Amino acid sequence: MAYNFCSSSILKWSFLITCICLHTARNLAQFPRIEHASTKNGGSVSFLVVGDWGRGGNFNQSKVATQMGEIGNKLGIDFVISTGDNFYYTGLKGVNDPIFKKSFTNIYTATSLQIPCTGAQLSPALRKIDNRWHCMRNFIVETGILDIVFIDTTPFVDMYFENPKNQRFDWKDVLPRGKYMSYLSKNLDLALKKSEAPWKIVVGHHTMKSIGSHGDTEEIVTHLLPILEENKVKMYINGHDHCLEHLSNQDGGGGSKAWKNNIHYKNHNDSTHFYYDGQGFMYVEITYEKAKIAFYDVSGKPIYKINTMVNFTESRVYTTTHSIHIHMYVWDYV
């Protein structure tokens, strides 16, 4: 079932978990906005990123959650971003499905994680069960120095429509597909053009570019990448490929099942800076002038770090993050 969200109001939060939803009601108004004012010295904003995580604690989800709590406590975080595929394998059957507590509430229990988190199920009733849960299909988080635009990428992917009998999506509010995709593209472009923040990040579920098992999502490259490039977006963060990955374009996962051992090294040999076929999560800290990014494995060990300046003129970062995996795509504009 798809749920409508108010599209004109500006919401404020004290705890956020962002959801990338698999279907949503069409609303032709501009994306809703959430304001987050940092209370840290210097106005920095920091958050964790996970994706593809809802395993009831299995496949190291609980271990990753424990380390997220440790890093969150040590470094201080404002919110958590989930890049989608939150409850395996068939999603939630309803708002009272025990999987919600089993895979979310009872897993992310650390004090440092009692903050806003965005996830993939749309029902506002879930927030009554756990008030950390903030979910909309397409929306914007505004922090002053950083605007994060969350975009529903699923309707762009052809395969979900080519074999409809094998899919579990409810498209009644998405069809006609072309009109809905046009709405998403136009509003993404509008949101980015109106943004005055020095940092702009776009979050979606599907890969933009990846050397992992799913590889590039050509539909996302075709429809969304030109919009990100035109508006000089600093990072695209996604899930889907169950890995920790950093790619850049110089021309210009939370506890889930990993170890797919299906890596396409030749796809982006010159632009792949890091790839880890295992479980973990990502930490991001943004100040006005620079960003610090770190990947952590299931034991909480930092396995990759990158520092970049706001005028890295302008580096595109693609990052993949699955509850255990994260995929980040950063790029340079010329």
Give catalytic residue positions.
214
Query: Is residue 39 a contact partner of residue 66, using CB atoms and an 8 Å limit?
Result: no
Helices (DSSP H) in the chain: which residue ranges?
61-75, 99-100, 126-129, 159-162, 177-194, 218-223, 225-230
Per-residue exposure over 235-261, b if at least 16 CB sit within 10 Å of its own CB, e if not: bbbbbbbbbbbbbbbeeebbbbbbeee
**Computed over its alpha carbons, how large is the radius of gyration of the chain?**
18
Distance, in Å, from the CA atom of 331 to the CA atom of 334, rounded to the nearest integer, reads 10
DSSP character at residue 103: I
Helices (runs of H) and strands (runs of E) counted in the chain: 7, 18
The torsion region of residue 299 among left (phi > 0), alpha (psi -120 to 50) and beta comes to alpha
| Cβ-Cβ contacts under 8 Å for 318 (sequence gap 6 or more) | 207, 208, 209, 210, 235, 236, 237, 238, 245, 246, 247, 248, 249, 327, 328, 329, 330, 331
Query: Is residue 116 a contact partner of residue 17, using CB atoms and an 8 Å limit?
Result: yes
Query: Is residue 127 a contact partner of residue 181, using CB atoms and an 8 Å limit?
Result: no
Bond before 219 cis per omega within 30 degrees = no
